Amino acid sequence: MKKSPIDQQKLLQKQLQKLICPSPLQEITHPLFDKKKITVSVKRDDLLHPHISGNKWRKLKFNLLEARKQGINHIVSFGGAYSNHIHALAAAGFYFGFKTSAIIRGEAHYANNPTLKQAQKWGMQLHFVTRKEYRERHKCEYLQQLQLRFPDAFIVPEGGSNHLALIGMSELCNEIKSQCNKKIDHIVTATGSGGTLAGLIAGFSHNQNNTAPKITGIAVLKEADYLVDNINILLQQGAIKATVPWQLQTEFHGGGYAKISAQLLDFCQTFEKQTTIPIEPIYTGKMFYALFELIKQDYFKAGEHIIALHTGGLQGLQGLKKRASDKK
């Protein structure tokens, strides 16, 4: 007897619980922290799963559950050639039985890079579009045309950032609360599309009191002030009233998205040697670099406890190596 969509959703929920485990919360030490008398812990979402990790998984989870609830088994989404979101979606499709398709910004030869090669091995179908067409991805008319092209599909926005993503991020907030035995003063995260920051705001705005943490996003894109509006729209779509203080720091982009200076690379390598925590320079590297700079600037007060969210994305290191070798 064929299972109903609701039964299939429940089955998927059980599969998710078995395969994706809560990530650890790890305190790290550094002379700078001692000097400024602060405590720093890292929420290791890079350890959620070998292939489906970080904030990309948190934002995907309830999109997949909603698709199953509707009886839909085909997911379509958007991304660049080295997208962590596309990589995670392809892996999720492989592990949980979804057909996946991706609208990729750029030329067809990008299919040979490590990220998209692996996505194809997991069964994802790639559809390359011009940068001009890709800019249409948020417009209703374009999405309607895409739905006609893929009538059996559940369309997930770039980065997985929608109101369903906020539910997944709220689960992360609950994990942090249950794991932490001390007051949380600040949460810091890298910010690309704004969904992770919005989700943290949503998660810590539920049933909060005067001890709610301040949440700070580190924008990895240049001229990212527009993300403030995006974040507020996501909160409105999720019917969330923000009751926690939050801020988007926009001066640590290092020249723009995927712009990597020698200074940033050196920081990432030194950080990993000192903490044994691997990071990459596109998202987490910029976030931790910004965190250290903000500590130096006394953005945080003595005695405060900061939790830095490691949003994964380590698969992108292979792509960086490929791009570096191509330039030689």
- 215 close to 194: Cβ distance less than 8 angstroms: no
- Are residues 220 and 156 part of one domain? no
Provide the pLDDT for residue 98.
98
- 311 close to 55: Cβ distance less than 8 angstroms: yes
Residue 30, pLDDT > 90, answer yes
- Are residues 321 and 191 part of one domain? yes
Count of structural domains, the chain: 2
Element at 286 (helix H, strand E): helix 284-296
**Mean pLDDT over each residue of the chain, to the nearest integer:** 94
Provide the pLDDT for residue 275.
97
Q: Is residue 134 part of a domain?
A: yes
Q: Which of 125, 160, 195 is the last residue of a domain?
A: 160
Q: What is the mean pLDDT of residues 101-122?
A: 97
Provide the pLDDT for residue 207.
57
pLDDT 10s digits, 190-210? 999 999 999 999 999 975 555
Q: Which of 132, 160, 188 is the last residue of a domain?
A: 160
- Are residues 169 and 296 part of one domain? yes
Q: Both tokens of residue 144?
A: 């309607």
Residue 311, pLDDT > 80, answer yes
At residue 105 the predicted structure's pLDDT band, cuts being 50, 70 and 90, is very high
Q: Is residue 7 part of a domain?
A: no
Q: Which of 133, 160, 187 is the last residue of a domain?
A: 160
Residue 245, pLDDT > 70, answer yes
Q: Is residue 128 part of a domain?
A: yes
pLDDT 10s digits, 66-85? 999 999 999 999 999 999 99
Q: Is residue 85 part of a domain?
A: yes
- Are residues 171 and 156 part of one domain? no
Around Cβ 48, how many Cβ atoms within 10 Å?
A: 24
Please, what is the end-to-end C-alpha distance for the chain in angstroms?
58
Residue 244, pLDDT > 70, answer yes
Residue 287, pLDDT > 90, answer yes
Q: Which of 141, 137, 144, 147 is nearest to 78 (CA)?
A: 137
Q: What is the mean pLDDT of residues 136-145?
A: 96
- Are residues 185 and 285 part of one domain? yes
Provide the pLDDT for residue 319.
75
pLDDT 10s digits, 53-64? 899 999 999 999
Residue 49, pLDDT > 70, answer yes
Residue 322, pLDDT > 70, answer no
Q: Is residue 287 part of a domain?
A: yes
- Are residues 175 and 105 part of one domain? no
- Are residues 81 and 217 part of one domain? no
Per the model's pLDDT, the better-predicted residue between 320 and 71 turns out to be 71
Does this model's pTM top 0.85? My answer is yes
Provide the pLDDT for residue 61.
96
Determine the structural domain holding residue 147 and report its residue range: 56-160
The CATH number for 127's domain is: 3.40.50.1100
- Are residues 207 and 68 part of one domain? no
- Are residues 153 and 168 part of one domain? no
Residue 328, pLDDT > 60, answer no
Length of the chain in terms of residues written? 328
Q: Both tokens of residue 246?
A: 């939050």
How far apart, in Å, are the Cα atoms of 303 and each of 40, 71, 92, 216, 287? 11, 50, 40, 18, 21
Q: Is residue 229 part of a domain?
A: yes
Q: Is residue 9 part of a domain?
A: no
At residue 2 the predicted structure's pLDDT band, cuts being 50, 70 and 90, is confident
Q: What is the mean pLDDT of residues 221-243?
A: 95
Q: What percent of the chain has pLDDT over 70?
A: 96
Coil, helix or strand at residue 178: helix
Residues in a beta bridge with 246: 215
- CA 299 – CA 58 distance, rounded (Å): 28
Q: What is the mean pLDDT of residues 297-316?
A: 96
- Are residues 278 and 228 part of one domain? yes
Q: Both tokens of residue 133?
A: 């067409």
- Are residues 253 and 112 part of one domain? no
Q: Is residue 204 part of a domain?
A: yes
